[in-house]
Amino acid sequence: MKYQVNENGFYGEFGGAFIPEMLYPNVEELRKQYLDIIATAEFQKEFHQLLKDYVGRPTPLYFAERLSAKYNTKIYLKREDLCHTGAHKINNTIGQILLAKRLRKTRIIAETGAGQHGVATATVCALMGLKCIVYMGEIDIQRQAPNVARMKMLGAEVRPATSGSKTLKDATNEAIRDWINNPIDTFYIIGSVVGPHPYPDMVAKFQSIISEEIKKQLHEKEGKENPDYVIACVGGGSNAAGAFYHFLDEEKVNLIAVEAAGKGIHSGESAATSVLGKIGIIHGSKTLLMQSEDGQITEPYSISAGLDYPGVGPLHAHLHDTKRAEFIAITDDDAMAAGLNLCKTEGIIPAIESSHALAVLDQKKFKKDDIVVINLSGRGDKDLNTYINYFEL
Ligand SMILES: *Cc1c(COP(=O)(O)O)cnc(C)c1O
């Protein structure tokens, strides 16, 4: 229980709900009801049915034989890249849309940076026939044109955020403003283990299917449920939270959280929040946050759009604080090399986010009979242009 959220929504000193007064009724409605609704047999049945038939779960736990031989250890890949829409994010949006329906909400809002969460949200809104509005910074709309097109095809309206740096945090501000103005009919689907309580806990619970499956699958393959290491990349932290969840209290399982060091941790172009961050409030939550001396949020950088976030969720801040997880920062160059290595060694083109987790294999020495599970959070289709430009393909 040491790593579970407490009644007030805190993990150690991190978390809580630091929200404008006007948002209080919305967040409170959700906080009072989410655990009860999720626990009903009826919710669980529909959630698991959709995970199975729509998302394609369980995703395989794949023993990567050639990769294992190369690094002289036992490497398993949890194949979230095979989920419908190409990444783990859909696990969470399915859960939240089912919750929204039970709270009788008819209008869904979301914000997105890279567009992956926007696509996952637009997908489940189409599935359920609900109206979907996705806020996105004007700059991000230009940078992520294919995902904008996907959202539109799925029936979502993409609204540009034109203030500030015209990126994710401005889109978040717009989404919050919308929610304040539409408190009755609107549900705000947040895409990672961030935001005010109860979102971090709720999202972690929806993503915890990842470690639930790993346990079962490892038991079948290795005769034991617990690996020696679980490695996952961290943007906001949802795929890592899901991959770690059922191992949090198994202190013998080493957890490795991988952040983006961009062009180098201290280059000024990085997203290594655990090193550079200080305690602050972002998106309604008290957590580690990259900020200037006077508390302005620093614009983060990573070659991977999904890791380009100036904070981490409060669970991860707590895992860092308590040293339950080891944090490693991987540069753009090392991630790209690790991504290409997976292509050539296993025939799998990973998302660049996931390539950061793979790069740990070059940074850390594992023993021959260690069981190392790497969460392959997504596939690389969306990143083809970045790969093309980087490797001059
Ligand atoms: C969004 C995304 C991430 C980062 O988000 P988390 O909430 O930290 O998981 C990682 N990998 C992929 C493939 C993503 O799309």
The CATH number of domain 10-50+89-203, selected from 1.10.3210.10, 3.40.50.720, 3.20.80.10, 3.40.50.1100: 3.40.50.1100
Cβ atoms of 378 and 86 closer than 8 Å: yes
Q: How close is the Cα of 305 to the center of ligand 1, in Å?
A: 9
With a Cβ cut-off of 6 Å, ligand 1 is lined by 87, 89, 116, 192, 233-240, 306-307, 351, 353-354, 377-378
* Residue ID of nearest Cα to ligand 1 atom 14: 306
Catalytic residue status for 89: yes
CATH topology of domain 56-87+209-391: Rossmann fold (3.40.50)
CA distances, 383 to each of 247, 259, 316, 350 (Å) = 30, 18, 26, 9
Q: What is the pLDDT of residue 1?
A: 74
How far apart are alpha carbons 208 and 193 in whole angstroms? 11
Q: What is the pLDDT of residue 238?
A: 98
Q: What is the pLDDT of residue 192?
A: 97
Q: How close is the Cα of 358 to the center of ligand 1, in Å?
A: 14
End-to-end CA distance of the chain: 49
- Per-domain residue ranges of the chain: 10-50+89-203, 56-87+209-391
**Confidence grade of residue 165 (pLDDT, cut at 50, 70, 90):** confident
Q: Which atom of ligand 1 is nearest to the CA of 353?
A: 11
The pLDDT of 166-178, averaged and rounded, is 93
Residue from 80, 111, 174, 259 carrying the catalytic annotation? 111
How far apart are alpha carbons 14 and 356 in whole angstroms? 25
The pLDDT of 3-11, averaged and rounded, is 97
Q: Which atom of ligand 1 is nearest to the CA of 239?
A: 9
Q: What is the pLDDT of residue 315?
A: 98
Asked if domains 10-50+89-203 and 56-87+209-391 share a fold, the reply is yes
pLDDT at 261 over 80: yes
The pLDDT of 176-197, averaged and rounded, is 97
Q: How close is the Cα of 169 to the center of ligand 1, in Å?
A: 17
**Residue written as token pair 């038991």:** 219
Catalytic residue status for 7: no
Q: How close is the Cα of 295 to the center of ligand 1, in Å?
A: 26
Q: How close is the Cα of 21 to the center of ligand 1, in Å?
A: 30
How far apart are alpha carbons 114 and 257 in whole angstroms? 20
pLDDT at 135 over 80: yes
* Residue ID of nearest Cα to ligand 1 atom 3: 306
What b/e readout covers 102-112, taking b as 16+ CB neighbours within 10 angstroms?
Answer: beebebbbbbb
**360 contact partners, CB below 8 Å, separation of at least 6:** 231, 256, 258, 328, 330, 374
Looking only at the bridges linking them, the beta strands covering 107-112 and 186-188 are parallel
Cβ atoms of 147 and 115 closer than 8 Å: yes
Catalytic residue status for 267: no
Residue 391 has a CB neighbour count (10 Å cut-off) of 11
Give tens-digit pLDDT for 12-70: 999 999 999 999 999 999 999 999 999 999 999 999 999 999 999 999 999 999 999 99
CA proximity to 71, closest of 379, 369, 377: 369
Cβ atoms of 261 and 329 closer than 8 Å: yes
